[in-house]
A and B are shown apart, each in its own frame.
Chain A
Amino acid sequence: MYTRKGETEMRELTYLEAVREAMSQEMRQNEDVFVLGEDIGLYGGAFGVTRGMLDEFGPERIRNTPISEAAISGAAVGAALTGMRPILELQFSDFITIAMDNIVNQAAKTRYMFGGKGKVPMVLRTPAGSGTGAAAQHSQSLEAWTAHIPGLIVVQPSTAYDAKGLLKAAIDNDNPVIFYEHKLVYKTSSEVPEEQYSIPLGVADIKREGKDVTIVATSYMVHKVLEAAKELEKEGIDVEVVDPRTIVPLDKETIIKSVKKTGRLLIAHEAVKRGGIGGEIASMIAESEAFDYLDAPIKRLGGKEVPIPYNPNLEKAATPQVPDIIEAVKELVRY
């Protein structure tokens, strides 16, 4: 379905299609870009992101790898260090554990350790999140780990539009970028321009303007928060939804500005609340000029301190849902 928005051809794409399109469009014009990962060839990727790309780009550039997260992450580093721009797909973000040394000790630090020589322009794309019944070892949200490492860029796009633009920016960036997709967000769709476009890394997006409460949300939580916002609107509570889009570097100014406006802050993410980026954002606000504008304590919603259970009801109970968001906002407003 094509619509024209000014000069741009826009059509509805799913998040998954948007990711594929971003990679394909870039690969068509840049020989150095290639994708490596498990089951990305004929199989089309565990979630179907690379479906059709083997046909277009061939096995050299859509490189199916053995199940060797350590080797392929290291190979991505080595290739990036010697002139390629690899996109590494880790089938589940939980498997980053096996690739951690190459991400943390090699990719993130090479340029710094080498005194500014060399660069590692790789993108590590990986789906995170719960809700598909994939259970404890295939449902985590671990962005806080990579957000903690200097030298990495961490991105968490929540919509198809954001995903396409941010992936292009990630590929163009000369640093290692960890690009977190979400299993349940893959099927969401939005209007996406046909042509290539880049959304700058480190810039947040206000998904909904409001004046009563600021909600900072990431990835799939953005969708839940927007749903909650509709409900809250009926009760006369007007929330502003800020989607950081990039976790590192974080767009602090946008968040600070929003909190100064509303005086109330809720941070919502699917990752376990303890040690999650919510704590980082809350502390950042408390240390900023926005502190003097807080009219209520800062609140966080995050996953419970449990591994993700298999049973669907338990699985839902382990992470913040729309009713939790509504209640949290109301508590803030009662203050």
Chain B
Amino acid sequence: MTLTTTKLPPHITNEKLIDMYKEMWLIRYFDEKVDQFFAKGAIHGTTHLAVGQEPSATGPIAALQPKDKITSTHRGHGHSIAKGTDVNRMMAELFGKVDGYCKGKGGSMHIADLEIGNLGANGIVAGGISIAVGAALTSKMKNSGYVVLCYFGDGASNEGAFHESVNLASVWGLPVVFFCENNQYGMSGSVKDMTNVENIADRAAAYGIPGKVVDGTDVIEMLNVTYEAVENARKGNGPSIIEAKTYRWKGHSKSDAKLYRTREEENEWKSRDGIKKFKELLIAEGLLTEEKAKELQQEAKKEIEDSVTFAQNSPEPTIDSLFEDVYA
């Protein structure tokens, strides 16, 4: 379909756009809820929140076909929800309960839903990149026709595995799109200090593949650019790198005092809230009203609250489950 301003991929309907709007609220409320629970100490361990990065989850993943797969990062709740992972079971996993995606044994950084093509979040920075390449290899060898959307961050682009994997994918022409969410910081390391190039996507030239920079707060731009890259890969033209400039509103993890950045910077990015911009766009296109928008927002909120109830009601795993699933 087409917006008055831009063309959209053929499979994107009005309903889809509205779903995307609600989806971003789902992501935001999920991570905010999780943040609250962590602050209260009600959730164990640690997590990495993507509040502020909802558009770069929703936009690109909307470009995918159902058979396409994603690999995610440690900051992957948004990717997961966008790919269709059930928030109830996600919340249950964070609570360590049996009904969680990983039966309570994985936690925030290892949520995966293989059936719908979510090859999992990963606790190792750049850990998912070579796995994405492997999954793309399968697609090529089996002629399955699916593409792998590989998420990684600015920090990961400095890992050896990134270089090796992108090189390998480019050499073998694999159907994988490397999507970088450059949120300006690799934990506390500012990308300006840790990377000697302006744009991570510029590194694509080193591998002889296309690289494109997009606005991480612009859902539609990311949707379109990803679609193009994915379809290109699906045709057999090999991988590409997309870099979305974005920002995470909260710290790296719950124990982050954010001493490495300024309030002004945060506020500047917050003023460019991608969800707000998308709402305005949809309203301008006549696809959404304020009331409807509010309604959707409330629905999303309710869904998250329900997910908490679901998680709280889910049972704890038994101690015997400790030894299950070490081997297939």
A residues within 8 Å of B by Cβ? 34, 60-61, 63, 65-66, 68-84, 86, 98, 101-102, 105-106, 110-119, 121, 150-151, 153, 173-175
A77–B137 Cα distance when bound, in Å, is 11
The verdict on A115 contacting B138 (CB below 8 Å), with A71-B133, A101-B161 known, is: no
- Told that A66-B168, A74-B131 touch, could you supply 8 new A-B pairs with CB distance under 8 A? A74-B130, A75-B133, A77-B134, A80-B134, A113-B112, A115-B102, A121-B328, A153-B327
The verdict on A111 contacting B328 (CB below 8 Å), with A65-B168, A116-B103 known, is: yes
What distance in Å separates the Cβ of B18 from its nearest Cβ neighbour in chain A?
A: 31
What residues of B have a CB within 8 angstroms of the CB of A115 in the complex? 100-106, 325
The answer, yes or no, to whether B79 is at the interface (CB within 8 Å) is no
Scan B125-166; emit 1 where CB is below 8 A from any A CB, else 0.
001011111111111011000000000000000001100110
Q: Is the CB of B112 within 8 A of A118?
A: yes
Among B29-37, B116-124, B298-306, the one that faces the other chain is B116-124
Q: Is the CB of B138 within 8 A of A84?
A: yes
Q: Is the CB of A114 within 8 A of B120?
A: yes
The verdict on A68 contacting B164 (CB below 8 Å), with A79-B138, A118-B112 known, is: yes
In chain B, what residue has the closest Cβ to A150?
B326
What residues of B have a CB within 8 angstroms of the CB of A74 in the complex? 127, 129-131, 133-134, 161, 165
Q: Is the CB of A114 within 8 A of B134?
A: no
Q: Is the CB of A78 within 8 A of B131?
A: yes
A34–B112 Cα distance when bound, in Å, is 26
What residues of A have a CB within 8 angstroms of the CB of B102 in the complex? 113-115, 117
Q: Is the CB of A66 within 8 A of B167?
A: yes
Q: Is the CB of B138 within 8 A of A82?
A: yes
Label chain B's interface by main secondary structure: helix
Which residue in A65, A70, A77, A118 is a CB contact (below 8 Å) of B114?
A: A118
What residues of B have a CB within 8 angstroms of the CB of A106 in the complex? 122, 124, 127, 131
Q: Is the CB of A113 within 8 A of B137?
A: no
What residues of B have a CB within 8 angstroms of the CB of A66 in the complex? 164, 167-168, 171
Q: Is the CB of A114 within 8 A of B101?
A: yes
What residues of A have a CB within 8 angstroms of the CB of B138 in the complex? 78-79, 82-84
A174–B106 Cα distance when bound, in Å, is 20
Q: What would 16 A/B residue contacts be, using CB atoms closer than 8 Å?
A: A34-B141, A66-B167, A68-B164, A71-B161, A73-B130, A74-B161, A74-B165, A75-B133, A75-B165, A78-B134, A78-B138, A79-B135, A81-B119, A101-B161, A111-B327, A112-B326
The verdict on A116 contacting B124 (CB below 8 Å), with A66-B171, A71-B167, A74-B161 known, is: no
Scan B82-107; emit 1 where CB is below 8 A from any A CB, else 0.
00000000000000000011111110
What residues of A have a CB within 8 angstroms of the CB of B131 in the complex? 74-75, 77-78, 81, 102, 106
A77–B132 Cα distance when bound, in Å, is 9
The answer, yes or no, to whether B110 is at the interface (CB within 8 Å) is yes
What residues of B have a CB within 8 angstroms of the CB of A68 in the complex? 164-165, 167-168
In chain B, what residue has the closest Cβ to A119?
B328
What residues of B have a CB within 8 angstroms of the CB of A79 in the complex? 134-135, 137-138, 141
Q: Is the CB of B110 within 8 A of A113?
A: yes
Q: Is the CB of B327 within 8 A of A70?
A: no
A79–B134 Cα distance when bound, in Å, is 4
A79–B71 Cα distance when bound, in Å, is 13
A326–B327 Cα distance when bound, in Å, is 39
What residues of B have a CB within 8 angstroms of the CB of A175 in the complex? 327-328
**A69, A102, A115 interface centre (most CB from chain B within 10 Å):** A115
**A71, A73, A112 interface centre (most CB from chain B within 10 Å):** A71
What residues of B have a CB within 8 angstroms of the CB of A75 in the complex? 130-131, 133-134, 137, 165, 168
B residues within 8 Å of A by Cβ? 69, 71, 100-106, 110, 112, 114, 119-120, 122-124, 127, 129-139, 141-142, 160-161, 164-165, 167-168, 171-172, 324-328
In chain A, what residue has the closest Cβ to B166?
A71
A31–B13 Cα distance when bound, in Å, is 39
What residues of A have a CB within 8 angstroms of the CB of B134 in the complex? 74-82, 84, 86
In chain B, what residue has the closest Cβ to A34?
B141
What residues of A have a CB within 8 angstroms of the CB of B101 in the complex? 114-115, 117
A101–B127 Cα distance when bound, in Å, is 8
What residues of B have a CB within 8 angstroms of the CB of A118 in the complex? 112, 114
What residues of A have a CB within 8 angstroms of the CB of B110 in the complex? 113-114
A61–B325 Cα distance when bound, in Å, is 30
What residues of B have a CB within 8 angstroms of the CB of A34 in the complex? 141
Which residue in B112, B122, B133 is a CB contact (below 8 Å) of A117?
A: B112
**A74, A77, A79, A102 interface centre (most CB from chain B within 10 Å):** A74
**A69, A101, A111, A119 interface centre (most CB from chain B within 10 Å):** A101
What residues of B have a CB within 8 angstroms of the CB of A82 in the complex? 69, 119, 134-135, 138-139
A116–B114 Cα distance when bound, in Å, is 11
A66–B160 Cα distance when bound, in Å, is 13
Q: Is the CB of B129 within 8 A of A151?
A: no
What residues of B have a CB within 8 angstroms of the CB of A77 in the complex? 130-131, 134
What residues of A have a CB within 8 angstroms of the CB of B135 in the complex? 78-79, 81-82
A27–B69 Cα distance when bound, in Å, is 27
Which residue in B104, B119, B137, B164 is a CB contact (below 8 Å) of A70?
A: B164
Q: Is the CB of B326 within 8 A of A151?
A: yes
A38–B315 Cα distance when bound, in Å, is 48
The verdict on A113 contacting B105 (CB below 8 Å), with A82-B69, A82-B138 known, is: yes
In chain A, what residue has the closest Cβ to B100?
A115
What distance in Å separates the Cβ of A239 from its nearest Cβ neighbour in chain B?
A: 34
What distance in Å separates the Cβ of A294 from its nearest Cβ neighbour in chain B?
A: 30
A105–B120 Cα distance when bound, in Å, is 13
What residues of A have a CB within 8 angstroms of the CB of B129 in the complex? 74
The 9 lowest CB-CB distance pairs between A and B, nearest first, are: A74-B130, A78-B134, A71-B164, A115-B103, A115-B102, A68-B164, A174-B328, A78-B131, A75-B134
